[in-house]
Amino acid sequence: EVTVDFPGDTRVMTVSNQKGGVGKTTTTVNIAAAIADLGGRVLVIDLDPQGNASTALGIPHTADTTSIYDVLINDVLMADAVQSSPENDLLFCVPSTIHLAGAEIELVSQVAREKRLDTALREFLDTYEQPFDFVLIDCPPSLGLLTINAFASADEVFLPIQAEYYALEGLSQLLGNVQMIQKHLNPRLRVTTILLTMFDGRTRLSQQVADEVREHFPKEVLASVIPRSVRVSEAPSFGQTVISYDSSSAGAIAYREAAVEIVKRGSSRKKKGRN
Ligand code: ADP
Ligand code: MG
């Protein structure tokens, strides 16, 4: 059994990639569940109107659920929207509902529209009864105001990359956006973590993509890769992560290994004295 230390600071990571279907949501919920399994307190913020992260964490998110929409648009306290996951008592989620689909437009006319999530999250972290070790924000695929709010709130960008032919396409755009956010909204933001998802060890293509990504980002890419696995894709239909749905499956093992790496690496800001 692996033991890891949680140093007591809160690492806020936004799980982002402008492509859809690369494993953002799957990575968010499974890394969150794996960190909770290691003894860390984790908050998932579901910032995608589709609400898939909420579903996978077993969190009710019908139209009348108090959600991240109310936090962003109606000044509801995040503490009043947070729910605990039935899966693990260290795992929490601020759910998304279908109302969030309208938030992209409604935010446009709001004061401090890029900073609303950051303000709400800081207030929450400063006042909630117990501290969190990690906050993971599941982003929608577009660079709209929701994603910009996530970038403005986070210290770290966590980039899942699908091991397929077009994997690197659009990445320079994402890195350009991160630079723009650093300059104008959030100087703390860094791309710290890259995870290869849906890896198929039988194909040379997967291996080539992995090699290319490692060449470009030698420090950021995790050693663990997530294999393509049916257990991973069927877990959400049971309202579970693969960590609880089938903890001995290849996908669960890979996500647990990736989580250990993330926790052990520490945040980029506090690298001194740790590996
Ligand atoms: P995104 O949030 O980037 O749009 P998702 O996490 O929703 O991507 O994943 C897209 C699809 O791929 C989903 O149907 C999901 O179940 C499936 N998927 C993700 N990771 C894996 C994996 N390791 N093995 C098999 N299917 C996966
Ligand atoms: Mg998603």
Pocket lining: 251 vs ligand 1, CB cutoff 6 Å: yes
**pTM given for the model:** 0.96
Here the ipTM equals: 0.99
Biggest CA-to-CA distance, the chain? 51
Contacts of 169 (CB under 8 A, 6+ apart): none
Q: What is the CATH number of domain 11-266?
A: 3.40.50.300
Q: What is the pLDDT of residue 114?
A: 96
Quote the crossing angle between the two packed helices 24-37 and 250-265, to the nearest 10°. Answer: 70
Which of 19, 26, 238 is the pocket-test mutation for ligand 1 (most atoms within 8 Å of CB)? 26
Query: Would you say 262 and 136 are in contact if contact means Cβ atoms under 8 Å apart?
Result: no
Q: What is the pLDDT of residue 50?
A: 94
Count the alpha carbons within 13 Å of 62 in the hemisphere toward its beta carbon: 1
Q: What is the pLDDT of residue 45?
A: 98
Smallest-distance ligand from the CA of 237:
1
The stretches in the chain having pLDDT less than 50 are 269, 271-275
Q: What is the pLDDT of residue 272?
A: 43
- 151-197 confidence digits (pLDDT tens): 999 999 999 999 887 888 878 889 999 999 999 999 999 999 999 99
